[in-house]
Structure 1
Amino acid sequence: MKKLKLETTLDVFDSVSELPQDIQELMIKAQQAREKAYAPYSSFKVGAALQLANGEVVLGNNQENAAFPSGLCAERVAIFYAGATYPGVAVTSIALTVRSLEHTVTKPTPPCGACRQSIAEYEVNQKSSINIYFMGETGTVVKADSIEVLLPFVFDNTFLK
C-alpha cells in the first residue's frame, strides 16, 4: 500500500482592503448581492460575484425554497447565469461572502461541495483556472488559485469517455 500526501496552498488576506483593487470591487458587489439573498429558512445569506474575461460581472445569491432541496446556492446561481448569458466566455475570478442573521460570521466560508463540482465543470470546460476568493461577513479573505485546490480529485468529463 502507498499513501498519497496532498498539500494545499492558499493566500490569506487579513481583510478586503488588502485585496487587489479589482478584487475589492468584486467582493463589494458580492456583498451587495448577498443582501438580496432569499434565505428565510437558514437565515444564512450568501453572495457571489463573477468576473468574466469579457469584463462583465455576474452576480448571484442563494435562493431557498420550502420544498428543500429545491433552492440553489449563490455560486451556482451566478455561474449558471454566466454560462447561459455569456456562453464560451471564461470566468476569471469569483468573490464569495456570507452573512448570518443570527450571528457574525468571521470565518472564511468556502463553496459547498455541489458548488465546487459546478465550478470544476466550468474550469475544465474553459481550460483555465478560476481564482476563488471567499470570506465570512467580515475579517479574513482566502484565495484559492483554482477549484482543484479546494476539490483535489475533480470528477470531470474525462471519466465519462
Structure 2
Amino acid sequence: MKEIEIKSVLQVFDSFDELQPDIQELMRQSISIRDKAYAPYSEFLVGAALLLENGEIVLGNNQENACYPSGLCAERTAIYHAGANFPEVSILKMALSAKSLKYQLLTPTPPCGACRQAIAEYEVKQKQPIEIYFMGETGKVVKSSSLSNLLPLIFDNSYL
C-alpha cells in the first residue's frame, strides 16, 4: 500500500479591505447581484461575479424553484452564462458572496460540490486556473488560486 498526501493552500484575508482594489470591485458586484437572488425557500442568497480575460464581468445569483432540483446556484448561473456568451474567453477570477436572511453569515462560504465540478470543467477547458474568492455576508475572505485546492481529485474528460 502507498499513501498520498493531498495539500490545499488557501489565503485568508481578515477583511474585505485587505483585498486588491480590482478584487474589491469584483466582490462588490457579487454582493450587489447576491441581493437580487431568487431564494424564497432557503432564504440563502448567493452572488457570483466572474472576471473574463477580455475584461467583461459576468454576474449570476442563485435561482430557486419549488421543485428543488430545478434551481441553480449562483456560480453555475454565471459560469454557464459566460460559456454561452463568451465560449472562447477564459475566466480569470470568480468572487462569491453568501448571505442568509435567517441569521448573520460571517463564515466564508465556498462553492457547493456541483458548482466545484462545473468550475473544474472550465479550468480543464481553458487549460488555466480560475482564482476563486469567497466570503459570507461580511468578514473574512478566502482566496483559492485554483479550483484544485477545493476539489483536488476532479473528474474530467480524461476518464471518458
Same fold (TM over 0.5): yes
Note the alpha carbon deviations across 1:51-87, whole angstroms, 9 max, x for none.
0000000000000000111000000000000000111
> Structure 1 counterpart of 2:27, which letter?
M
What is the TM-score of this pair, normalised by structure 2? Answer: 0.99
Q: Specify the alignment match of 1:135 in structure 2.
A: 135
Q: Which residue of 2 aligns with 1:18?
A: 18
Letter in 2 for 1:158: S
Whether 1:89 and 2:65 are equivalent positions in the alignment is no
| 2:67 corresponds to | 67
SS of equivalent residue, structure 2 residue 97: strand
Distance 2:8 2:120 in 1: 17
Q: Tell me the number of residue pairs that the alignment of Structure 1 and Structure 2 aligns.
A: 160
TM-score, normalization by structure 1: 0.98
Counterparts of 2:50 and 2:7, CA distance in 1: 27
Shift of 1:5: 1.3
Post-superposition shift, 1:127? 0.3
SS in 1 for 2:22: helix
Same amino acid, percent of matched pairs: 62
Give the match's secondary structure for 1:69: helix
Per-residue CA deviation, residues 137-159 of structure 1 (Å, 9 max, x unaligned), is 00000000000000000110111
Worse-matched range after superposition: 56-65 or 1-10? 1-10
In the alignment, what sits opposite 1:42?
A: 42
**In the alignment, which residue of structure 1 is the partner of 2:28?**
28
2: distance between equivalents of 1:152 and 1:87? 25
Q: Give unmatched runs, 5+ long, in structure 1.
A: none
Q: Which runs of 5+ in 2 are unaligned?
A: none
What is the identity, as a one-letter code, of the residue corresponding to 1:111? P
Partners of 1:98 and 1:49 in 2: CA distance? 12
Runs of 4+ in 1 over 4 A off after TM superposition: none
Partner of 1:111: 111
